[in-house]
Amino acid sequence: MTDSRPSNAALAARDLRHLWHPCTQMHDHVHGGVPMIPIVRGEGPWLIDADGKRYLDGISSWWTNLFGHAHPRLATALAEQAAQLEHVIFAGFTHQPAIELAEELVRVTPPGLERVFLADNGSAAIEVALKMSFHYWLNQGRGAKTRFIALTGSYHGETLGALSVSDVALYRKTYAPLLLTPILAPSPDAYQGEPGESPAEVAARQLVELRALLERHAHETCAVIVEPLVQCAGGMRMYHPDYLAGLRRLCDEFGVHFIADEIAVGFGRTGTLFACEQAGVAPDFLCLSKGLTGGFLPLSAVLTTAPVYEAFYAEYGAGKAFLHSHSYTGNPLACRVALETLAIFRDEPVLERNRRRAAHLAARLAPLADHPHVADVRQSGLIAAVELVADKASRRPFPAAERRGLRVYRHGLEHGALLRPLGDVVYFMPPYVMDEADLDRLVDVALAGIERALAL
C-alpha cells in the first residue's frame, strides 16, 4: 500500500515558501534549524504530525484549548451549527446561539456583569473594553478622561490599543511610536518582591503605589486594566488576590473603571471559574476569549454592568451609541461551540478534577525549587512556571541571546512534547484533559530539557 499523504518535510517546505507566522523570526525556520511542524490531527492532549509523530500539548495551543483537540462534543456542535446557520450579520439580526451564550455568560460570571458585547479575538475584546470605558466617561460629560493605567509586565494583546496597555518590551518596544502612553503602575508580581516579603505584602505595597498614581491621575484616567492573578505573556508572573480586592476598592474610591482581562486565566485556569472570584470582586469590564470556545474558534466577549450600558442608552439623535463593529461579530459557529464548552463545565466536575491534577503537577515540580539554576517555581491552578536563571542568589538572568528557553522547546519537540518557554520561563498550561500519567510524561521531558538547556 502506498501512502500519498505529504510528509513533514514536504509540507514544511511549502509552508515556508508563502506563509509568514506569528511571533516568529522566520529565519529560525529557514536557516536556524528550528523545525516547522505540520500537524494533521489532534486527539485529546495530543497533536500528531504528518510523519505520525505525537506531541503532548503542554501549552494548550497558546492557552486556548481546555478539553483536548478535536473534542467530539464540540466537533458535533460545530458541524450541526454549520449545517444550519454559519453566519449572519449581527446588526439588526440575532440568533439563538448568541442569545443563549449571553445568558449563560451572565449566569456564570461574577455578579453585576449583565451586558455582553461580542468580538472575535482577545485583542479585539481589549479594544472594545478600552473604547467603551472611554466612551462611558465621555457620555457622562467627562471627556478629559482619556488615559489608562496598566501594570508593568502586563500583556493585553498586539493590536495598537491592546499593545498600548501592554508592557512586555519584546512586543511593545518597536511599535512604541505608534501607541498611546499608559500610566504604568508597578506590578504586584510576587517574584519581584523584596527578600522575605510575602505575596500579600507585595500586593499591599503595590496598592500604596497605585493609590498614589490614582491621586495624581484619576481625573484623566478611564480605567485600570489588569490580568487577574497571573501576568501570563509577561512570564507567568503571579500575585496575591488581595491586590484585586484593593484595586476594586481604589477604582470605586477614585471613580475609574476596573477592566479584568481574563482572556488567558478565565474558564478555570487558576482554580476558580474566573480568577476574580478568588478576591471576591467583580470588575466593570470582563474580557474573555481563548478558552471560551474550548480552543475551537476565535471568539471573545466583553461583559459589563448595567450602569455602563445605560450611559450609552438614549434616543438616536443623542449620538451616544457605542461604535465598534467587526464583520464576524457574534458568529453563530463560534457561539454554538462556546455554549457547548460551557455545557461541559456544567456536566463534568472540571474544577474538582483540575484541582487534583494541579496538586499532582505541583508535587512533580517541587524538587526543582532546590535546583541551582531555578530561581522560582510558582503555580496557580493549572498554570505552573519554572524561572531559570544564571545565578540563583542574585536571580541574574541568562543573557537573552543564549536563548536557553529555545533549547527546552527544541528538546521538547524531539521528545514528543510541546513546551514553549517564555524567554527562560519554562511553563506548563496543559489542557484539562491531560491526566496524571501524561502530566508525568510532560514533566519528565521538561526536566531533561531544562538540564540540557543549562548544560549549554
The β-bridge relationship of strands 221-226 and 147-151 is parallel
Q: How far is the CB of 121 from ligand PLP (least distance, A)?
A: 4
Nearest CB to ligand PLP, comparing residues 49 and 120: 120
Q: Three-class SS of residue 348?
A: coil
The one segment of 33-41, 120-128, 312-320, 439-447 that binds ligand PLP by CB under 6 A = 120-128
Kindly state whether residue 238 participates in binding ligand PLP, applying the rule CB under 6 A: no
Cα-based distances in Å from 6 to 2, 52, 192, 251: 12, 11, 48, 56
Report whether 384 contacts 378 (CB < 8 A): yes
Q: How far is the CB of 274 from ligand PLP (least distance, A)?
A: 13
Q: How far is the CB of 124 from ligand PLP (least distance, A)?
A: 7
Backbone phi, psi, residue 122, to 5°:
-65, -50
Q: How far is the CB of 273 from ligand PLP (least distance, A)?
A: 16
Q: Three-class SS of residue 374?
A: strand
Q: Three-class SS of residue 230?
A: strand
Q: How far is the CB of 282 from ligand PLP (least distance, A)?
A: 18
What DSSP line would sit under 62-107, residue for residue? HHT-SS-BT-HHHHHHHHHHHHH-----SSS---HHHHHHHHHHHH
Report whether 301 contacts 125 (CB < 8 A): yes
* Given 232, 247, 286, 338, the residue binding ligand PLP (CB under 6 A): 232
Kindly state whether residue 424 participates in binding ligand PLP, applying the rule CB under 6 A: no
Kindly state whether residue 233 participates in binding ligand PLP, applying the rule CB under 6 A: yes
Cell numbers at residue 407, please? 533549547
Nearest CB to ligand PLP, comparing residues 330 and 449: 330
Nearest CB to ligand PLP, comparing residues 274 and 398: 274
* Given 61, 121, 305, 354, the residue binding ligand PLP (CB under 6 A): 121
Q: How far is the CB of 164 from ligand PLP (least distance, A)?
A: 13
Q: Which residues, at least 6 apart from 211, have a Cβ–Cβ distance to it below 8 Å? A: 250
Nearest CB to ligand PLP, comparing residues 60 and 121: 121
Q: How far is the CB of 261 from ligand PLP (least distance, A)?
A: 5
In the complex, residue closest to ligand PLP by CB? 122
Cell numbers at residue 360, please? 499532582
Report whether 56 contacts 428 (CB < 8 A): no
The one segment of 84-92, 121-129, 318-326, 406-414 that binds ligand PLP by CB under 6 A = 121-129
CA distance 238 to 215: 26
Looking only at residues 147 through 166 of this chain, which bind ligand PLP when binding is defined by CB under 6 A? 155-157
Q: How far is the CB of 293 from ligand PLP (least distance, A)?
A: 11
* Given 289, 305, 331, 380, the residue binding ligand PLP (CB under 6 A): 289
Kindly state whether residue 338 participates in binding ligand PLP, applying the rule CB under 6 A: no
Q: Which residues, at least 6 apart from 36, have a Cβ–Cβ distance to it below 8 Å? A: 12, 15, 16, 21, 29
Q: Three-class SS of residue 150?
A: strand
Which residues are near ligand PLP by CB under 6 A?
121-123, 126, 155-157, 227, 232-233, 261, 263-264, 289
